[in-house]
Chain A
Amino acid sequence: MTDMTTKSFAKAGLPGTHTGNRGLQIEEALIFEVGSLETSGVDFEEPDAFESRLGDVERHDAIGLPGLSEPEAVRHYVRLSQKNYAIDTGIFPLGSCTMKHNPRLNEKLARLPGFGDIHPLQPQKTVQGAIELMALLSDWLTKLTGMPAVALSPKAGAHGELCGMTAIRAALEARGEADTRRVVLVPDSAHGTNPATAALLGFEVRAVAAEKDGTVRAATVRAALGHDVAAMMITNPNTCGLFEPEIAEIAAALHGAGAYLYCDGANFNAIAGKVRPGDLGVDAMHINLHKTFSTPHGGGGPGAGPVVFSQSLAPFAPLPLIRKDGDRYALVENGPAADGQLSFGRLVAFHGQMGMFVRALAYMLSFGIDGVRQASEDAVLNANYVRVGLRDAMSQPFGDRICMHEVLFDDGFLKGTGLSTLDFAKAMIDEGFHPMTVYFPLVVHGAMLIEPTESEGKQSLDQFIGALRSLARAAGQGEVERFKGAPHYAPRRRLDETRAARQPILSYTPTLNKAAE
């Protein structure tokens, strides 16, 4: 490994190092290369003598798991952490991902023993505060969306989609139309989870043409409607960062034809406190607590995707249900409930992502309704500020128009430079930024979707805009190496994804790594 690193230094015209490290950029081995089967970083008391009751399933063979002492383990993971970019490091403008500040207060509160150290199946009278917290969060979500019911249990956005679409199927069954209404309309600009969810539930996906800017006309929807249509799945604001101007007409058309409107709430951060999806005619919508309400993304989860329901779908919400009887809160864990519920069943074991509920409610209480509105407005303000800062340097697919909380560029400005959107994104890494979302939405060539969020101040945005203008200029002037070789200054240069996919190495294999050396 040392030799290769020295080589890469040499290529950059820099002296090599004995360790392969570069100052604070420290190479870190896998635990399987440094740990041992005897080492442990945890001490235990010895139990008194006892007779095993494991029966015929007692393990006698070795597992093969090396351990590290505590100081070694701490250093290992701290060094790994230093190879990551994070929202606490700088702007993280991934479009459709809403990477906003994660307040530490929320972490502190989620770790209170009264929230973090309670069991999902301990007697309900011993967890009244926890159920009340779930009720308070439900109250916020229903009021913010103008919808009467909410299911808290879905574990993430895609799981929320599954929840909402399952409720639609259950409602169709109750109407006796589950076998005839088999089609779900999905605009071709939709997020990939939408068709995946519909297909999982046995629906046939029918693509609906969007306008060039990704918005959908009510007339197009009307033309696609029939007795075979169960629902439409739509993202609003859409994946191009635009509010669907005809969404209320679309909802009315769907309802008129006996179908439902599912809304992907991934982009709720643009409109929270400003527009209530219930007013628009939405029947079900998931809310990514890890986006709009700032629970940490954690390097890819855990998330939380509660779903709000209209009156017509409310009876079909999944278990558990929250009920209040006098002063006492209850979680109804098994159906059917006494009060006419037609719940479609259970989506997860237990009650959902309590740790995320605490964090999200802490965020809501901190912001208040006035702050939630202001945050949405600042998110939209910031995206438009980035738009005008870059509009003459980069290219916009639908001309210069206002956007919601994210702004979309395409690769038109790179035409003739020999550079791609990916090259541009990788060069941003060298400038100290996380790249924006690239190549999504698919309907735009070489898409670059920037969502700054309300967490960025004007100075931060000015620096970001300045850097992107400089890169766009450099691209135009043919500074190819700045892009093609990028990133030059990250812990790793570009990684060979083809090799990873052709010969997958998915766990540590000693012989393979010996051979690689």
Chain B
Amino acid sequence: MRYLPHTADERRQMLAAIGVPNVDALYSDVPAAFLVDEIAGLPRHQSEMAVERALGKLAARNVAAGSVPFFAGCGAYKHHVPATVDHIIQRSEFMTAYTPYQPEIAQGTLQYLFEFQTQVAALTGMEVANASMYDGSTAAAEGVLMAHRLTKRGKAVLFGNLHPHYRAVIETISRYAQYETVALSSAPNTEFVDAIDSETSCIVVQYPGVFGGARDLSGLAELAHKNGALLIVVVTEAVSFGALRSPGSMGADIVVAEGQSIGNGLNFGGPYLGLFATRQKFLRQMPGRLCGQTVDEDGRRGFVLTLSTREQHIRRDKATSNICTNSGLCSLAFTVHMTLLGEAGLRKLARLNHANAVALADRLAAVPSVEIVTPHFFNEFTIRTPKPGGEVIDALADEGVIGGVPASRLFPGEDRLNDLIIVAATEINTPADRDAYATALAKVLS
């Protein structure tokens, strides 16, 4: 077996050194009845070539985003990732290291986390950011729990433009942790209705929303603050930071985001990385790992994990969160890509995304009976078609176009949204892709 170094002879020598006749003697704490000799139905070991062949066959049965005109978004975006990013994250010293508990031999990980935290704080317009969380949706749930701790209240108001998966994650944890959630009705252009009262700890709003629309949140922030509640802004498309005003500048108290768009592939939904940023004054209630600057015994600058007393391995049942990992390698991919882009590159990338979305919206609006529902957007918008969105997307797939996400997939049972399709455009889309989409859509709707 290629992954195991011992020879049969070495195993014998080692057993002799230990002083046992065979390896099962080392399992003598296990009651004999529970030691199994065989587990039926599982294959025996295979060569590298055979495994590659088997999984290659499975991979070949999926339609890769890069192989077709591709327009799906809703919290996961197909962007071009520079080759350098994957090269760096595959370096052994990054990929096969553990959490930096021994900082003297983990300065590589710690310094990039410090750079990452700085970048995230700048992008979101906030003062402090943590070293990342599992993904955007779990970061959003953690944000709600943090708001409950800060306000000593227990009700979260979830805006109608919040991604339904995010809403579901918040609702699951809230329900079982015995907190209240109020989910406002979902629609592409919801008004900021007043559902906030003295029990409300936070308002959770997405920016841009799941239907693609983006609007000024300053009024909502004021409304929240006036009622002693916090504003949590959820961003699922991190490239938008390059084109849109930062949530911090509009009065957000907590910003959570899905960072996948920068540096990370689609990966069928994971692994991704959650960004989490807040105000300095809320630092002690922020969940997740933090990297901080300090000096070593010789006075040289160095970095360590810090404020770990907030975490579960010390506070146990009083921790700010039960989470113990961040999303290390994904945050490295984010930070390398962000460093390559820089301010100038991110702005160009964001502009190109918006330009392609505008071009696509114009192209699709020209298809008979198609209506653009969202007047303002970044790189994602919603269209209304005369046929149910699910059928349209299925038929488009048969034409070789992944045309977006039907609202019915995210909002089952909400019949009024059945004719909506959420469409994303990024820098990867070419004029030919847009033509292919418009042509196929016209055919499917005719």
A/B contact in complex, CB under 8 angstroms: yes
**Contacting chain B: which of A222-230, A257-265, A300-308, A410-418?**
A300-308
Given contacts A88-B96, A196-B316, A370-B45, contact A500 B34 (CB under 8 A): no
A397 CA to B101 CA in the complex, in Å? 24
Q: How far is the CB of A226 from chain B (nearest CB, A)?
A: 20
Supply 19 A–B pairs (Cβ within 8 Å), ascending by A: A42-B349, A67-B341, A68-B339, A77-B339, A88-B93, A116-B265, A117-B266, A118-B266, A157-B324, A191-B313, A299-B97, A301-B99, A301-B325, A318-B172, A352-B270, A378-B11, A487-B104, A492-B103, A492-B302
| Chain A contacts for B62, CB-based, 8 A | 114-115, 118, 126-130
Given contacts A302-B270, A369-B39, contact A425 B108 (CB under 8 A): no
**Contact, CB under 8 Å: A59 / B244:** yes
A516 CA to B302 CA in the complex, in Å? 12
| In the assembled complex, A214 has its CB within 8 A of some CB on chain B | no
Given contacts A85-B106, A125-B394, A516-B301, contact A275 B328 (CB under 8 A): no
Chain B residue nearest to A305 in the complex (CB): B325
How many residues on B have C-beta within 8 angstroms of the other chain's C-beta atoms? 212
| Chain B contacts for A57, CB-based, 8 A | 207, 214-216, 244-245, 376
| Chain B contacts for A440, CB-based, 8 A | 313
Chain B residue nearest to A56 in the complex (CB): B216
A429 CA to B131 CA in the complex, in Å? 25
| In the assembled complex, A119 has its CB within 8 A of some CB on chain B | yes
Given contacts A48-B359, A80-B112, A112-B59, contact A300 B393 (CB under 8 A): no
A499 CA to B301 CA in the complex, in Å? 12
Q: How far is the CB of B193 from chain A (nearest CB, A)?
A: 20
**Contact, CB under 8 Å: B307 / A501:** yes
Interface string of A53-85 (1 = CB under 8 A from B): 111111111111111101001101110111111
Q: How far is the CB of A237 from chain B (nearest CB, A)?
A: 8
**Contact, CB under 8 Å: A158 / B324:** yes
Given contacts A113-B64, A121-B74, contact A92 B98 (CB under 8 A): yes
A77-B332, A455-B5 given; 4 more Cβ-contact pairs under 8 Å = A53-B376, A351-B269, A355-B267, A491-B107
Residues of A482-499 at the interface with B, using a CB-CB cut-off of 8 Å, are 485, 487, 490-497, 499
| Chain A contacts for B265, CB-based, 8 A | 116-117
Given contacts A39-B344, A275-B35, contact A493 B297 (CB under 8 A): yes
Which of B74, B103, B105, B245 is close to A58, meaning CB atoms less than 8 Å apart?
A: B245
| Chain A contacts for B266, CB-based, 8 A | 116-120
Which of A121, A170, A455 is close to B3, meaning CB atoms less than 8 Å apart?
A: A455
Q: How far is the CB of B89 from chain A (nearest CB, A)?
A: 8
Q: How far is the CB of B344 from chain A (nearest CB, A)?
A: 5
**Contact, CB under 8 Å: A196 / B322:** yes
**Contact, CB under 8 Å: A506 / B290:** yes
9 closest A-B pairs (Cβ-Cβ)? A67-B342, A114-B59, A350-B269, A129-B61, A298-B329, A457-B5, A120-B269, A47-B355, A302-B271
Residues of A368-383 at the interface with B, using a CB-CB cut-off of 8 Å, are 368-371, 374-375, 377-378, 380-382
| Chain A contacts for B376, CB-based, 8 A | 53-57
Residues of B413-433 at the interface with A, using a CB-CB cut-off of 8 Å, are 427
Which of B132, B176, B340 is close to A169, meaning CB atoms less than 8 Å apart?
A: B176
Q: How far is the CB of A53 from chain B (nearest CB, A)?
A: 5
Given contacts A243-B29, A347-B172, A388-B18, contact A44 B345 (CB under 8 A): yes
| Chain A contacts for B446, CB-based, 8 A | none
Residues of B328-375 at the interface with A, using a CB-CB cut-off of 8 Å, are 328-330, 332, 336, 338-346, 348-349, 351-352, 354-359, 361, 375
Given contacts A41-B339, A63-B346, contact A198 B269 (CB under 8 A): no
| Chain A contacts for B402, CB-based, 8 A | 119, 122-123, 126
A57 CA to B350 CA in the complex, in Å? 14
A132 CA to B347 CA in the complex, in Å? 40
**Contact, CB under 8 Å: B51 / A365:** yes
**Contact, CB under 8 Å: B64 / A117:** yes
**Contact, CB under 8 Å: A129 / B271:** no
Interface string of A119-144 (1 = CB under 8 A from B): 11111011111101100000110011
Chain A residue nearest to B250 in the complex (CB): A57
Residues of B137-169 at the interface with A, using a CB-CB cut-off of 8 Å, are 137-138, 145, 163, 165-166, 168-169
**Contacting chain A: which of B117-125, B195-203, B220-228, B435-443?**
B117-125
**Contact, CB under 8 Å: A54 / B36:** no
| In the assembled complex, A445 has its CB within 8 A of some CB on chain B | no
Given contacts A58-B243, A129-B62, contact A429 B102 (CB under 8 A): yes
**Contact, CB under 8 Å: B317 / A127:** no
Chain A residue nearest to B75 in the complex (CB): A349
| Chain B contacts for A474, CB-based, 8 A | none
Interface string of B281-308 (1 = CB under 8 A from A): 0010000011111111111111110110
**Contact, CB under 8 Å: B102 / A201:** no
**Contact, CB under 8 Å: A67 / B343:** yes
